[in-house]
Structure 1
Amino acid sequence: MTFFIFLLACGAAATTGIIFKPGQWYETLDKPGFTPPNWAFPVAWTLIYLLLAWVGHRLVAIPGSQVLLALWAAQIALNALWTPVFFGAHRLFAAMLIIALLWLVVAIMVLLAFKLDVISGLLLLPYLGWLSVAAALNFAIMRRNSW
């Protein structure tokens, strides 16, 4: 049951991507050569959200996971915030600050998760990897289009 509660939270965050679509504005931006193809984003996020729900489900059952669960809540809130700031408000610098904080929260989650539950730590690694690409992309787009 807890898996579905965490999946619902992930679904709520994913909804921002439905409401605030990249659209024409994003297509016209000067993007770096390492920009993933458009089809990769929904595939990656679907997998990441499933892994995040699984991590949350695992953590609930582990004594001493309160800090990790608080970080889980913080990351999903930051995750949900980034999309409307970047795609909705077109605030590239503010989005960069949000994704940098999100990356930091997830990196701390990975470190703490490995100490408490190796499987949860491993399940978080694809998220941290994808956030690294997304942060680099956000930064490159901000540099290329804000000056």
Structure 2
Amino acid sequence: MIFLLFLLASAAAAATGVIFKPGAWYEGLRKPGFTPPNRLFPIAWTAIYLLSAIAAARVAGVPGSDLALALWAAQIALNTLWTPVFFGAHLMAAGMAVIAILWLVVLAMTVTFWRIDVLAGVMLLPYLAWLCVAAALNWRIWRDNRTTGAA
């Protein structure tokens, strides 16, 4: 049951991708050569959301997991925020700030989960790796499109 609650929160975060689609604005931006194909994004995020929900469910009942669960809540909130900031409002600099804070929170969450349950910590490594790609992509898009008038 607890897993389903974490999965529901993850689904709410994922829903922002349905509401705030990349669209023509994003397609018109200059993107770096390491940009993953569009079809990879929903696959990666589905796996990440599933793994993070499983990891959170593993640590949820463990005494002393309060900080770990607070970090999980913070990361899902930040994760939910990034899409409307970047794709909805077209605020690339603000998106970069959100994703940088998200990366730090996920790093702290990974370390905290690892200390409670090694497997739970390992399950978060793909999330951290994908955020490295996403942050680099956000940075390069922001840097390479400053002359388009987008912030």
TM-score (norm 2): 0.96
The RMSD of aligned alpha carbons is 0.7
What's the counterpart of residue 30 of structure 2? Answer: 30
What is the Cα deviation at residue 133 of structure 1? 0.3
1:139 is matched with 139
Cα deviation, residue 146, structure 1: 1.4
Aligned to 1:17: 17
SS at match of 2:145: helix
Partner residue of 1:110? 110
Q: Displacement, 1:110?
A: 1.1
The amino acid across from 1:132 in the alignment is C
1:65-103 CA distance string (max 9 Å, x none): 100000000000000000000000000000000000000
Partner of 2:96: 96
Aligned to 2:60: 60
CA displacement at 1:114 relative to structure 2? 1.5
Superposed CA deviations along residues 21-44 of structure 1, whole A, max 9, x for unmatched, are 001111010000000000000000
TM-score (norm 1): 0.98
Counterpart Cα distance in 1 of 2:135 and 2:62: 31
Which consecutive residues of structure 2, in runs of 5 or more, have no partner in the other structure?
Answer: none
Runs of 4+ in structure 1 off by over 6 angstroms are none
Which amino acid is 2:101 matched to? L
Q: Which residue of 1 aligns with 2:4?
A: 4
SS in 2 for 1:90: coil
Unpaired runs of 5+ residues, structure 1, are none
Residue equivalent to 1:129: 129
How many positions carry a matched residue from both structures?
A: 147
